[in-house]
Amino acid sequence: MLVENAIAEKLQRELSPSFLTVENESHMHNVPANSETHFKVTIAADAFDGKRLLQRHRTINKVLSEELAGPVHALALHTYTPNEWEGKNQQSPDSPNCLGGGR
């Protein structure tokens, strides 16, 4: 839970989101038990207002540069403004099943 917590704390501190979930999806992949390598982040923040999807992802990648350079192998990002999040009925898409890694 150390990586998951670090991701959540950094995003909370840097972007002050109105909604944030960080899900460890490592168990869905061919990795050792208790791994923290694959994450899904769903975030709604005013900081994304007026920004394109690529700019939003770059913002998060910058905040999480340490994690992305180290333990995090995959990061699924679902980024919204608070209004967009409300328009999505506060639902992010499900992650697809893993297609690689020898499973």
CATH code, domain with 64: 3.30.300.90
Q: Would residue 94 count as lying in a domain?
A: no
Decide if pLDDT at 84 tops 80: yes
Better-predicted residue by pLDDT, 71 or 95 = 71
Q: How many domains does the chain have?
A: 1
Q: Would residue 66 count as lying in a domain?
A: yes
Q: Would residue 101 count as lying in a domain?
A: no
Q: Would residue 75 count as lying in a domain?
A: yes
| 76, 95 contact by CB (below 8 A) | yes
Q: 85-102 burial by CB neighbour count: b if 16+ within 10 A, else e?
A: beeeeeebeeeeebeeee
Q: What is the pTM of this model?
A: 0.87
| 48, 81 contact by CB (below 8 A) | yes
Q: Would residue 80 count as lying in a domain?
A: yes
How distant, in Å, are the alpha carbons of 13, 57, 77, 100 from that of 50? 21, 13, 17, 36
State the residue range of the domain holding 34: 2-87
Q: Would residue 100 count as lying in a domain?
A: no
Q: Which two tokens stand for residue 63?
A: 């905040």
Q: Would residue 96 count as lying in a domain?
A: no
Encode pLDDT of 6-48 as tens digits.
Answer: 999 999 999 999 999 999 888 777 776 767 888 999 999 999 9
